[in-house]
Structure 1
Amino acid sequence: MKKYIITLALATALLTGCTSNKVALDNLRGEISWNAFCDARGYDRNDNTYTAVNEYLDTWCGSVEEETALIEAGVEPY
């Protein structure tokens, strides 16, 4: 039983580490993407108005420009 608990605890720790790394990488991608969008389209980086966010989601996410910005930042695209 003790061996089972230790194995389960180790597996949980490994999976938690992987999840938190993925979340951190996704957050980094999002920040790089938003900053590149704002620079390319002339928005302020702190502008979270409907117009800016809508344009970001409709025209930037998944675009060639976004992938290029991520690659240039040294992050693999989604």
Structure 2
Amino acid sequence: MLNLLIQILLIAAAEIFGATKGSFTGATNKSGFIEEANGGILFLDEAHALKNYQNLLLKVVEEQKVRKIGGKKIFQLML
């Protein structure tokens, strides 16, 4: 059985936080929306739909740091 909701949430999280190659099937090294919007404004509508990733989003806001899905390097942000 394949849970498509989990796959969709993982892809959405990779778009927001970024991803490293090999972190999940089909993943490539990619900057996320948060990293690209660094120093600017990022509007996330329907953020409640991220479910298990909401805690990561809160951590980014509180600590002003982000780590890509599957990554080890932490990026400092200017929020």
TM-score range, shorter chain: 0.3 to 0.5
**Whose relative contact order is higher, 1 or 2, with alpha carbons under 8 Å and at least 6 apart?**
2
Name which one, 1 or 2, has greater alpha-carbon Rg: 1
Higher helix share: 1
TM-score normalised over the length of structure 2 = 0.36
TM-score normalised over the length of structure 1 = 0.36
